[in-house]
Structure 1
């Protein structure tokens, strides 16, 4: 039966090897094939820059309130335009 490894455990195991641990010993300790360790290591190294990328922040309540007011104003202006345009026909 295949074992499921969570992301934190994979990262911890890969870091043990990157910090100078003997890969064969690490794999033996965790009952892991060296090929799988190297696959994880490569994936880790290819994606580690993501940690330093800025994450988009969710809009705050005040941001949403400002946006809501802008939209209400726009709907009002468009409604007036439609009403005024319809009465001139």
Structure 2
């Protein structure tokens, strides 16, 4: 990961980084692509999680609303 980040920073050329770490440029670019894809997946999952939480929150709000109505009905019945 450190090698990929070093290349992304752009302070050194990819060729210099690969020479320094004794890896091929092809390997570096495979690692970089996997790294970037993993980041994309992580961010997409965060959006999915937000949608799941939003749906669950709406479901619970409906339940609470129904219970509040039932409580009001029971209070009215008790007062009659």
The two structures have a TM-score, normalised by structure 1, of 0.44
